[in-house]
């Protein structure tokens, strides 16, 4: 019983510190590194790669909207092709920096509003999947459980890791409770550990209203910018270990093979109002 | 007698148009594409790659400072390592986008103030050269004639193409006349053509005060954002052709081999006042 | 029969040129000046103020989203309060710069996606109106005809100038045809002039499907970044003059007085998905 | 024996937290608020104004370079006029937001690299002083002791508050030790308190090499983004109180009157290499 514990990291830039990557990265098995658009900068990308390298943690790209003021958490309506290229751009930047350390970018996890929009909107999800595939078709797409992303990833022939959140409660449709609501973030390590154990044991999400939503769960995400991130990671790791789960790199997970008949759908304009 | 005619292109972004790439790119043999920091954006990078592809023009990266308001023309004092990673970041982004068109990034030409600082400052020049080498050690470094860049490129073991400017007059030390002076840009196609012919024929720069500065000249640069860029490119091409020069991709130039004994110098802090 | 011809200007920044303000501003009676968020920069704001001053043209603020890559044309979902403060910020910056020339900011016209969102969304419209009122309650709110903006402006007790577009066709609900459609911009000066005359003569918008939408029309807007802006302005001015309309500063228009009983509605969270 | 304790605050933006303004602002008598260029955003500016208002703390503008990645700490070479308008822009934005709370911006303190450049470079200092004066000639210019800023402020007829740093050691020329050196920031509250007491008691700076540099000291600055800011503020306040100094708003300090014969010097181009 394996699961890949991942976190969003590398979100500091210049002298501004976001999160505690030195403490968090040793606790996870996959680091999703910000790529300079919503947060992070080239020097921070290298530093984060170095921390991951030091602890034997796999790295991935964490592309977001080009919106530092909003930390990538404000939905921006873009044409799908613009999103596609924006994603490839960020992955490429990280790939080149990672290569200087003989590291390979292994996965991609969209950030913030881009992730949320891709969750619900098939055009955005497809754009993200294409942007990933263009950078490297062997990249694993970390895609929210029960989202348009998993479908888009499979349609593009990518390996998809179904992702659930350690620190976020769910709505009945399998989407995270929006940050515009109260209690949208789980900050109590004990609550998080129970939440995680229930999800991975039953391979299902559980919404606040009690709805049970069956789904494969390959990877668990912790938001690295939350002040409670390190404590949640420790509690989650321990709870997983005690209950017989191993936290492993995504490469050691047996992901469902993409459908051989996957076909790219025709490009559609995003409804931009 | 070959020379590679290059231009800075892809400096539009969103709906903002800078330069006339559709008209200029067919006239050159190497396109240096802005990478989103001083200008350009991921979609524009793809569009520019597509234009180059259509006309059989080689592509390179044109990394600059992260300063859209200043169009990368304002000197920013950064630590050399920050510059190094900033350069690698931008090249990597372009490499990933170019790969979607089966195109390879063949050269790197720093932009604006980064280029000017690297001209004079050995630490900046070395940082740029390292950033290039980290992305791909086969990249050709387009380096200003008579600059610290050519030395740094050779010291890092890169292939260096000595570059002179079609549209810029020179000072006696072989540096371009600063844009903070009047008449810092040559806008008359006839003047540009004569300026170019004299330089490539004699393999020397000629300063405004008459100083003759011998140097290899492998490539000639036109600034694509100048309104006169297309006219200068036409005049230059014709003048070169009539006088027996061929405008060729940099790969067809015989560049001096980097010194076998090139040694990276120890890293030095940039004097940042 | 008076009308105020306005244009979006000051959208250049650094060495990047957007529009032809020198030619356009003399043709209009109110200049809406970009404030550095979607375009423009402090120096360009001063230069634009100076051009307006030279030609006796009234000035206003043209606040937009903080999104240079998107030129403020990409919808960004923000909390209404964040929009309110973003609007006040930009107006304040322009007020301070205008004061150095003894000029007063007289009106506010939201830009691009902010304008489009405020057209339809009452919360965004109210946030914009509040942001304007906070900066100076005597500012005239240039608000799209048939929009939530006119209502919000009146509810906040602002003077509202109903605005129609010289260069944009309309849908049956009185909204501009989206730029994501073809033919969303009128570029033929003759078509624009006829479009304008019909609107101001009948005090109504006319949708592409023939729908006639009665509305006061106090001011006419030309997008200054369109290459055809100057020609449209000339044609419009002439057509208005020949047909007995005078292009006057908004201060000379008799705008409907805001309702005395205007009451601020309680703040509501923006639905951010 | 009065002194005005000030701090740089409001440097958070979006969800990114920089400093601990809630704890720091009650300890100071003047808050210098970031204005969105190097840090801060319009919503954060309002929040910071509200905290200051709640604690009866005077507010000022803290303008910096437009460089979020560098947090305004990277020197950017700009033309003096561009700096002047950049400063006025930021002050104006804060003035408009402050007016919504019936607060008045009382002082201006340049941030980071802009402050450091203005310390040494007369053209930059003059540009900053002009930018302040243009926004409101009654603003007090918080200017580094022993700098070109104090001279420029006086030459422009501004009230100048001589400023020393609680958390920064000095070089023999009266400049702060550069952040590019080790030990450039004082983090031990006891060391800071002694450093402060010695300076205000003797009205002199003391360089690391022992040099004593007599100067008026009207205000003391704490960098709000340092993790030790609150502890230093507490220690400094207490040390001042115990030794008979009162921390007062700058309005209660008797600043030297600007020279009546102050004359603006002719504008000079900044040497931009």
Judged by CB atoms closer than 8 Å, whether chains meet at C74 and A78 is answered as yes
Q: Which of A166-170, B3-7, B66-70, B182-186 has the lowest mean pLDDT?
A: B182-186
Residues of C in contact with D156 (CB under 8 A): none
Q: Chain D residues with CB-CB distance to B under 8 A?
A: 66-67, 69-70, 74-79, 113, 116-117, 120, 178, 180, 269, 272-273
Instruction: Determine the straight-line distance between the first and last CA of chain B, rounded to whole angstroms.
Output: 45
Give the C-side interface with A, CB within 8 Å: 66-67, 69-70, 74-79, 113, 116-117, 120, 178, 180, 269, 272-273
Q: Which two tokens stand for residue B69?
A: 């308001």
What was the pLDDT predicted at C180?
79
Residue D174: pLDDT over 80: yes
**How high is the pLDDT of residue D258?**
65
> Which one is predicted more confidently, D90 or C183?
D90
Q: What is the pLDDT of residue C271?
A: 41
Contacts of C39 in chain B (CB under 8 A): 16
- Measured distance CA(B146)–CA(C7) in Å, rounded: 48
Contact A42 B86 (CB under 8 A): yes
Residue B151 has pLDDT above 90, yes or no: yes
Put simply, the answer to whether B178 touches D272 (Cβ < 8 Å) is yes
Q: Which of C42, C82, C92 sits opposite D96 (nearest CB)?
A: C92
The crossing angle, in degrees rounded to 10, of helices C122-135 and C112-120 is 120
DSSP state of D37: S
| pLDDT tens sequence for chain C (273 residues) | 899 999 999 999 999 999 999 999 999 999 999 999 999 999 999 999 999 999 999 999 999 999 999 999 999 999 999 999 999 999 999 999 999 999 999 999 999 999 999 999 999 999 999 999 999 999 999 999 999 999 999 999 999 999 999 999 999 999 999 887 888 999 999 999 999 999 999 999 999 999 999 999 999 999 999 999 999 999 999 999 999 999 898 888 888 766 544 434 434 444 433
C41 contacts B14? CB cut-off 8 A: no
User: What's the mean pLDDT when you consider all of chain D?
Assistant: 93
Nearest to A69 among D18, D41, D71 (CB): D41
Nearest to A76 among C76, C117, C269 (CB): C76
Per-residue pLDDT, averaged over B23-46, amounts to 98
Q: What is the pLDDT of residues A153-175, one digit of tens each?
A: 999 999 999 999 999 999 999 99
Give the chain A residue whose CA is nearest to the CA of C269: A180
Q: Is residue A268 very low, low, confident or very high in pLDDT (cuts 50, 70, 90)?
A: very low
* Residues 6+ positions from C70 with CB-CB distance below 8 Å: A76, A78, B14, C38, C113
Q: Residue A270 pLDDT more than 60?
A: no
What pairs with residue C3 in β-bridges? Answer: C247
Beta-sheet strands, E only, within chain D: 2-9, 30-34, 58-62, 105-108, 140-144, 159-165, 204-206, 212-214, 219-223, 246-247
Ramachandran angles phi, psi of C225, nearest 5°: -85, -10
Please judge whether C273 and A75 are an interchain contact, meaning their C-beta atoms are less than 8 angstroms apart: yes
CB-defined contacts A:B, below 8 A: 75
C-beta atoms of D96 and C89 within 8 A: yes
Answer for the pair B72, B111: CB distance below 8 angstroms, yes or no.
Answer: yes
The model's pTM is 0.94
B257 pLDDT band, cuts 50/70/90, is low
* pLDDT (mean) for A41-70: 98
Chain D residues contacting C, CB < 8 Å? 36, 42-43, 45-46, 81-82, 85-86, 88-97, 99-100, 134-135
pLDDT at position B161 over 70:
yes
Name every residue whose Cβ is closer than 8 Å to that of residue C5 and which is 6 or more positions away in sequence: C27, C28, C29, C30, C166, C219, C220, C222, C233, C236, C237, C240, C247
Per-residue pLDDT tens digits for D134-167: 999 999 999 999 999 999 999 999 999 999 999 9
Torsion over CA: B240, B242, B243, B248 (sign): positive
- Residues C60 and C48: their CA atoms lie apart, in Å, by 11
Q: Which chains touch A (3 or more CB pairs under 8 A)?
A: B, C, D
Looking at beta carbons, which residues of chain B come within 8 Å of A89?
36, 42, 45, 93, 96-97
Q: Say if CB A129 and CB A141 are below 8 A apart.
A: yes
Q: What is the pLDDT of residues A203-255, one digit of tens each?
A: 999 999 999 999 999 999 999 999 999 999 999 999 999 999 998 988 888 88
CB-count burial class (<10 Å; 0-12, 13-18, 19+) for A200: buried
Residue A258 pLDDT: 65
Q: Can you give the pLDDT at residue A259? A: 52
Q: Helix A189-202 crosses helix A229-242 at what angle (to 10 degrees)?
A: 40
The answer on pLDDT for B265 being more than 60 is no
Contact present, C72 and C117 (Cβ < 8 Å): no
CB contact under 8 A, B74 and D77: yes
Residue recorded with tokens 């909204």:
C175
With CB atoms and an 8 Å threshold, state whether A90 touches B93: yes
Angle between helices B42-54 and B80-99 (to 10 degrees): 60
Least confident of B52-66, C49-63, D62-76, D246-260: D246-260
Q: Per the CB < 8 Å rule, is C71 touching B14? A: yes
Q: Measure the CA angle with vertex D256, ends D251 and D258; round to 5°.
A: 105
DSSP letter for each residue of C138-158: T-EEEEETTSHHHHHHHHTT-
Q: Measure the CA–CA gap between B92 and B80, rounded to whole angstroms.
A: 18
CB contact under 8 A, C178 and A272: yes
* pLDDT, position B271: 41
The pLDDT tens digits for B83-130 are 999 999 999 999 999 999 999 999 999 999 999 999 999 999 999 999
Which chain C residues contact residue A115 at CB under 8 A? Answer: none
Task: Answer yes or no: are the C-beta atoms of A122 and A152 closer than 8 Å.
Answer: yes
Contact A4, A218 (CB under 8 A): yes
Instruction: Please check the confidence at residue B189 and state whether its pLDDT lies above 70.
Output: yes
pLDDT band at B268 (very low <50, low <70, confident <90, very high): very low
Average pLDDT of the residues in B151-175 = 96
Closest chain C residue to B225, measured at CA: C16
Of D46, D82, D91, the CB nearest to C96: D91
What confidence score (pLDDT) does residue D267 get? 41
Do C161 and C217 meet the contact criterion of CB atoms below 8 Å apart? no
Mutate to test the interface with A, among C70, C90, C117 (most CBs of A within 10 A): C70
Element holding A106 (H helix, E strand): strand A105-108
Nearest to D89 among C88, C97, C134 (CB): C97
Instruction: Write out pLDDT tens, residues A105-158.
Output: 999 999 999 999 999 999 999 999 999 999 999 999 999 999 999 999 999 999
Q: Cβ contacts (< 8 Å) between D99 and chain C: which residues?
A: 92, 134-135
Radius of gyration of chain A (CA): 17
**Rounded mean pLDDT of chain B?**
93
What are the residues whose beta carbons fall under 8 Å from the beta carbon of C92, sequence distance 6 or more? C135, D92, D93, D94, D95, D96, D97, D99
What's the pLDDT at D263? 39
Q: What is the pLDDT of residue B255?
A: 87
C contact chains, 3+ CB pairs < 8 A: A, B, D
CA gap A242, B13 in Å, rounded: 53
Question: Phi and psi (nearest 5°) for A53?
Answer: -60, -45
Tokens standing for A162? 């179904």
ipTM of predicted assembly, 2 dp: 0.93
Mean pLDDT of B200-208: 96
Chain B residues lying within 8 Å of D75, measured CB to CB:
75-77, 272-273
User: Would the CA dihedral through B52, B53, B55, B60 be positive or negative?
Assistant: positive
A76 to C70: CB separation less than 8 angstroms, yes or no: yes
- What band does B261 get if pLDDT is binned at 50, 70 and 90? very low
């Amino acid at each position: 019983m394996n699961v890949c514990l991942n976190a969003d990291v590398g979100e500091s830039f210049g002298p501004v510190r976001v999160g505690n990557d030195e403490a968090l990265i040793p606790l996870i098995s996959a680091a999703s590194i910000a790529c300079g658009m919503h947060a992070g900068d080239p020097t921070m990308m290298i530093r984060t790669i170095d921390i991951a390298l030091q602890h034997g943690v796999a790295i991935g790209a964490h592309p977001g909207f080009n919106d530092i003021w909003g930390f990538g958490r404000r939905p921006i309506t873009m044409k799908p092709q613009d999103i596609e290229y924006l994603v490839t751009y960020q992955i490429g930047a990280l790939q080149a920096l990672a290569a200087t350390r003989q590291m390979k970018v292994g996965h991609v996890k969209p950030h913030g509003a881009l992730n949320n929009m891709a969750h619900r909107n098939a055009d955005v999800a497809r754009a993200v999947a294409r942007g990933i595939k263009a950078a490297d078709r062997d990249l694993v797409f970390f895609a929210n459980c029960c989202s348009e992303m998993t479908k888009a990833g499979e349609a593009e022939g990518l390996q998809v890791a179904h992702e659930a959140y350690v620190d976020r409660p769910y709505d009945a449709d399998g989407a995270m409770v929006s940050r515009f609501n109260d209690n949208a973030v789980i900050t109590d390590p004990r609550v998080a550990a129970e939440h995680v154990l229930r999800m991975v044991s039953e391979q299902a999400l559980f919404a606040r209203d009690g709805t049970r939503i069956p789904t494969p769960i390959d990877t668990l995400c912790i938001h690295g910018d939350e002040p409670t991130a390190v404590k949640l990671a420790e509690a989650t790791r321990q709870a997983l270990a005690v209950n017989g789960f191993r936290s492993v790199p995504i490469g050691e997970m047996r992901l469902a093979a993409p459908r051989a008949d996957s076909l790219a759908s025709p490009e559609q304009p995003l409804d931009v109002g």
